Structure 1
């Protein structure tokens, strides 16, 4: 079962083009919040949490071996905002609630 669990986040899945579009809406803000060089911005994995809207937990490849996790909130009207950033992640870092 990969759907959202009540109160929790869904099982991580491979990112889609729609996920990438959501992440790109907060890319400038992510770059401003991190102190690391961002060479690329490719969403590779996503988990979601349904609230009054949706929280997207995204693993983003930002360099050849560098990753960050971002949490993006999309409200019911479709407005997207950056909630949090966890830098210094790896390809194998589990995508969990933060």
Structure 2
């Protein structure tokens, strides 16, 4: 077993975004805007990874400008917990070519 480092234990491969992932990103957009104190006119999920924990972590690359991207870590609790999606972490100033990694 190697050290965890930036490897995401149990993460899926990076996949192209889907309508479901766009919906996840849309639901946490206001949380990011509040934290960054700015409005994003573009907010297009382009790719993602998922990690099943006690719930699911989604790592989503979102295009917010011509060559401006943010990486989101969104936590979806188990259905019976009935909690909203939560923006757990994010990284700004990313490019289209930045690898989506655990953070």
Quickly name the TM-score band, shorter chain normalised: 0.7 to 0.9
Q: Residues 37 and 90 from structure 1, CA distance in 2 versus in 1: closer, same or farther, beyond 3 angstroms?
A: farther
2:71 counterpart (69, 72, 85): 69
Aligned to 1:15: 17
Unaligned runs of 5+ in 2: 1-7
Task: Say how many residue pairs are matched.
Answer: 93
Hey, which bits of structure 1, 4+ residues long, moved more than 6 A?
none
CA RMSD of aligned residues (A): 1.7
State the distance in 2 between where 1:82 and 1:41 align: 15
1:97 counterpart (93, 98, 102): 102
State the shift of 1:39 in Å.
Answer: 2.7
State the distance in 2 between where 1:36 and 1:88 align: 14
Contact 1:56 1:71 in 2 (8 A): yes
Quick check: which has more Rg, 1 or 2?
Answer: 2
- Which protein is richer in helix relative to its size? 2
Contact 1:20 1:43 in 2 (8 A): yes
